[in-house]
Amino acid sequence: MTETKRVQVEEHILSINDELAAGLRTRLDAAGVFAINLMASPGGGKTSLILRTVEALKDDLRLAAVDGDVVPVDVEKIATQGIQVELINTGGSCHLEAHMLSPALDRIDLDAVDLLIVENVGNLICPASFQLGTHANVVIASIPEGDDKPYKYPTMFRGADVLLLNKIDYLAVQEFDIDYFRRGVEALNEGLTFFPVSCRTGEGLEAWYDWLREQVRKTTAGSAEARELVQGS
């Protein structure tokens, strides 16, 4: 296959994906679900953040999760928190695509969910290129990965709506130039919502929970307004 042909194939895959993602967004909106696409390197803290978030919010909000993975290790961990979690076996793919998410959503009663967390595959590159119909791209970077990550994986940081800098408790034992990191992020994505946190100690997580609560509140309000408009018309 020539390089040109290959690029055409890739563009074709991306455009089909975007169409499917738009359909998923419509489904989520109709059910009044706020959904996030959670992305990070392997070991950045995606599952730890989900466990903490579910623990903090499950009494107030109706939560569900979807986990893109080769093996169900994380699904089992999340299920111990007592929420519905669906595995998407990516079959070795390095990212989720909209067509993989669709059958997982079929297995969830979306009308009974306020917040849906989609855990993407551990990878800072390809997940950035595939929309899933979710409302926010949430990226986790972590202190041990080093302060140069925005410079090395620009597409991921450019496409983020929210950035969590995890494992800030490691700042006690590791050099990490937060200003250099922030400058790299700001150059790509000015005014990005940013939460420095530690999923191990819990530091900084309240602000993240508040942000989620606010998004769910807006989604629920918007959904009720839409229903009134439909009923009133």
Sites of contact with its own copies (CB under 8 A): 1, 6, 9, 12-13, 16, 41-43, 69-71, 73-74, 92-94, 121-126, 129, 142, 144-146, 148-149, 151-155, 167, 170, 172-173
Cα–Cα nearest to 211, from 29, 53, 33, 28: 53
Specify the residue, 152 or 227, whose C-beta has the smaller distance to its own copies: 152
CB of 99 to its own copies, least distance (A): 9
CB neighbourhood size of 46 (10 A): 25
In the bound complex, what is the minimum distance in angstroms from residue 152's beta carbon to its own copies?
Answer: 6
Toward its own copies, which CB reaches closer, 146 or 223? Answer: 146
Dist CA 50 CA 56 (whole Å) = 10
Compute and round to an integer the Cα radius of gyration of the chain: 18
**Rounded least distance, CB 94 to its own copies, Å:** 4
Nearer CB in complex with its own copies: 15/233:
15
Contacts of 191 (CB under 8 A, 6+ apart): none
- Cβ atoms 134, 36 nearer than 8 A: yes
Query: For its own copies, which is the closer residue by CB, 170 or 194?
Result: 170
Looking at beta carbons only, is 112 or 174 nearer to its own copies? 174
Min dist CB 27 to its own copies, Å, is: 21
Strand order, beta sheet including 63-69: 84-89, 63-69, 115-119, 34-40, 136-142, 162-166, 193-196
Amino acid identity of residue 198, one-letter, is S
Residue 63, strand partner residues: 115
Q: How far is the CB of 23 from its own copies (least distance, A)?
A: 17
Closest CA to 193 of 209, 183, 208, 180: 208
Phi, psi of 30 (to 5 degrees): -60, -30
Helices (H) and strands (E) in the chain, counts: 8, 7
Closer of 102 and 220 to its own copies (Cβ): 102
Minimum CB separation of residue 39 from its own copies in Å reads 12
